[in-house]
Structure formats: C-alpha cells, structure tokens
Structure 1
C-alpha cells in the first residue's frame, strides 16, 4: 500500500474506535475534522522518514503517522475557533465550530488529542519505540515548545517571528520526522533539524499564500494574521525577502537529512514536495 493509503487506513481505524458508541454530534464532528484531509504533509513525512530508515515495523510507523495527523487536525479545530482565528471555513467546508457549535468544537479538539495517544498505545507493540514516540509527540504538542505553546504566543502582547514559526508549525513537523525515525528504530534527535527546516519553510510559504491567494484557492480565510496583528514573513521581509528565505530553508532541509539507507530518495522527495508549498507560478520563481 502506498503512503496515502496507509495514512487514510490508519486514520479510519482510529476514527472507528473513537466513534463507536460516541454521542452523534461529537462523532460527526470527529470525522469531519479529519476526513477528508488536506495535504497530509506531516504523516507523509513520518512515513517517508520511516521508509528511509528501512521501515522494519510498518504498523508502528502507521500509528505514529496517524497520531501526528490527529494532533494536527485537533490544532486546526481549536485554531479556527472564535477565541483565536474565528475562521468559518477549513478545507473549503464549514469549520467545526461553524458546523457544530463552539462547545462541540472544543470537545472535538480535546478528543482528537486523546485519540492520538490512544492510537499509539493501541497499535505500537514495541515498548521501547512506544516510549520514545509518546515523548516525541507530547513534546511536539505541549509546553514549553509545542503547538500549544505556539498558540499561546498569540495571547502575548508581542510575538517573535522565528520562535512563533518554530512552535506553531515547526514543532509538529519536527515531531513528524523524529517519529518516523523512532518508529523505524533509529535515534530520533538527529531528525529534529530536518523537521524544523521544513516546518519553517512551510510557514513562510503559508505567509506568502495568505498574501497572494484567494480564499477559494486555500479553502480557508485569508488575511487573518494581518487582521489579528500576528507576525508574517511577508511583512517582516517583504515578498522578495520571504521568497529568498524559503529557498534558504528548503536548501537547509536537504542539507541536514541524516545519513540513512534511503537518504538520497528522501532528499529528492523533500525537493519535490516543497515545490507544492506555493502556487505553480510562484513555485517556478522559487526554484
């Protein structure tokens, strides 16, 4: 089965467990928050790194990829709520709070976080790898440096662009690369730098898309960071500077791939996938 098929199968299994006997509105919201998904960048990175490291326990890698994506979906549900972005659309459809109400949205995000850890406990049989994966995932999500801390920075009177990008986006993407290595039995720490570089590149590209794309193209509102006074690479560096920054970060991501059996294929995949971060005309300019 290809990576996309493995990810969707693992997510469907997780949702079936969570929705069995669940209150109907919460069950519907859980599914709508996860299916259909977006680019699935984070779980695809998890599987790509696991594959590069020989992927000797595919079920463990699949569980790690599902956990990472469930946490990402949880963060989107909470991020869209009126107390943060107040976004009515996500992936071209009503956001969870718009469709189900704020109370159900809050519980949906909470349930997805718990489900991510539950899936690790349920699907990973190797106790050493399980322990590592739980630590990696927890650090990527919580305080002091995970996506929760990144969200909390939006509540502060001032935000530094680099720290904000590292926590809000880089933390979970570095968690994805580290989880892929840990799932395959490799030391995860050397894979942190790769995730951080890809994460910052993705966030810079997102800042660029927010400036040049229409809501219908992105499937979500645009201009929210500017409206809410949040940092943006395009405002800090200008469009040309943000494009230069993106090139540097993609080059760094390729450069820091650790030595592993499939490192050449992984580097090619990174270059291919990072070109998809931007609309086609801008991707050609960034190359």
Structure 2
C-alpha cells in the first residue's frame, strides 16, 4: 500500500467512528465532506514518513496519529472558512462546509472533528499507553494555546503581530506536531524533531503567502488575495515577492540539514526535497 492510500484508509476509519450509531445525518455527512477529497495530506504524510524513518514498529499507532493530525487540520480549515474569520466560499475546489451545510453545521463539524481526533488516539493508545499519552499531549499542545493553531488564529486579532510567533502557531504548529508525533509513534524522543517540523512549517507559511499573492482562485482552489484583503501579516508584505521567495529557499535548505540521524534519513530527506519542489509557486521560482 502506498503512503497516500495508507493515510486515506486511516482517515476513512476515523470518520466511520464519527458516523457510527444513529447520528444526525447531515452532520455525519459533513464529516466526510470536510475530509474528502483530502488534497495532498501533507501533514500526515510527513508524520508517517518520520515514523517510517524511525522504524515504524507500531504501524497501527502511526496510522491513528496520522488520522488524528489530519482531522485537526481539516477542522481548522472548516473554522477558518467561516464568515467570522476568512468568509471563504471555496475550499479544495468545492463549496466550503458552511456554504454546503450552513454555518451552525460547519461549527459543529469542526468541533466534532477535533473531538474525534482525540478519540482516535485514545482508542489506539491501549497498544502503547506511554506513547499514546505523549501523542495526545503533543497534539493538544500544537492545536490549542499558547502556541498551537488556536493561538495562530488569535494573533490575527492583535493590534501588533509578532510575525515569527504568528507563523509558528498558525502554520508551523501542526508541522511540528507531524514530525514529533511520527517520532513518538515509532518510540523515539520528540525533541530532536522539533526543528525539522518548525522549518517545514515556516516554509509552508511563506509558500502560502506567496501563493495568496501570485496565484488565481481557479489554480489554488480557494480565494486568493486574502492576506491583503484582511490586513493580515505575511512574508510578502514584510519582504516583498523576491525576498519571500529567497526566504523560502533558505528555509527549505535548513529543513533538510536539520533532519536527525535515523535509519531512514536519506529517504526522509528525499521526501522533504519533493515537498519543497511542490510548494514553491512556479510564478516566483526565478526569484529564489
């Protein structure tokens, strides 16, 4: 089974848990809608790749961690698109959840996905309780306050924004979770994997800022020009297109250099290189 198929299967199993029993039909349907199709599944791909590089001796735990991380990410997208935040009508090339199902159901969908993520981890934790507890703690820390994605959203309401802290929380947090949870699932210490996740997260935020500035809605599958429209901090606003493109290239080089020594180090470095090529918008590659 290839990596994406493995992750999709894990996410589908998780959604089936949330749709069990006798649930309200439209909310149950919205859980699937919010997580499928899943795009590139970048965060769980990184998590699973790190676990594989570290031996992946508990694949069921790895799969649960990957699914939980993706559920949190999808929940954040559902909430981000709401009128009180980005007021986005499109996500992944189709109507955002609040447009397809209503604002109340979008709020409940995001909330349900967050709770389901921790249920999935709790169910898998019986196999390795210590690792399971570490996974729950890591995902909670990178999802909430003070340094998780909730904090990242909160920075947008501050009169003065610390761009580094904003990027680390809003985008970097779940990439740090990805690298650390992959290591934890395979029985390795998480701390050496912080820098890799932090650098990948910063790279994706800068790349997202660039895409928002130079791509169109049809190509991106979601509204563009959102940073400027909402007055949000961005690498492009701070550094300009050329400066942001060069910053992205430097961050990605540092990410590869930061990979801890492990049995699958070479394969992991190749995965990071592939993701690097994927996220650099073609319109600014000549600037880097």
User: Normalising by the residue count of structure 1, what TM-score does the alignment of the two structures yield?
Assistant: 0.97
Q: Which residue of 2 aligns with 1:16?
A: 16
Instruction: Map Cα deviations across residues 221-245 of structure 1 (whole Å, 9 max, x no partner).
Output: 0011111110011110011100110
Q: Distance in 1 between matches of 2:159 and 2:102?
A: 28
Q: Distance in 1 between matches of 2:94 and 2:163?
A: 29
Q: Which residue of 2 aligns with 1:270?
A: 272
Whether the 8 Å CA contact 1:275–1:283 is kept in 2: the answer is no
Which residue, out of 202, 205, 223, partners 1:203?
Answer: 205
- Segments of 5+ residues of structure 1 without an aligned counterpart are none
Helix, strand or coil for the counterpart of 2:28?
A: helix
Q: Distance in 2 between matches of 1:212 and 1:65?
A: 31
Helix, strand or coil for the counterpart of 1:193?
A: helix
Instruction: Map Cα deviations across residues 51-75 of structure 1 (whole Å, 9 max, x no partner).
Output: 1001111111111000100000000
- Segments of 5+ residues of structure 2 without an aligned counterpart are none
Q: Which residue of 2 aligns with 1:2?
A: 2
Whether the 8 Å CA contact 1:159–1:230 is kept in 2: the answer is no
Whether the 8 Å CA contact 1:92–1:216 is kept in 2: the answer is yes
Cα offset, 1:255, TM superposition: 1.1
Change (3 A) 1:82 1:133: same
Q: Which residue of 1 aligns with 2:45?
A: 44
Q: Distance in 2 between matches of 1:189 and 1:23?
A: 41
Matches within 5 A, 1:63-142: 63-124=64-125, 125-142=127-144
| Pairing 1:166–2:168 present | yes
Whether the 8 Å CA contact 2:81–2:87 is kept in 1: the answer is yes
Which stretch shows the higher mean deviation, 273-282 or 5-14? 273-282
Whether the 8 Å CA contact 1:147–1:171 is kept in 2: the answer is yes
Cα offset, 1:158, TM superposition: 2.3
Aligned-pair Cα RMSD in Å: 1.1
Q: Which residue of 2 aligns with 1:55?
A: 56
Helix, strand or coil for the counterpart of 1:173?
A: helix
Cα offset, 1:278, TM superposition: 2.4
May I ask how many residue pairs the two structures share in their alignment?
286
User: Normalising by the residue count of structure 2, what TM-score does the alignment of the two structures yield?
Assistant: 0.97
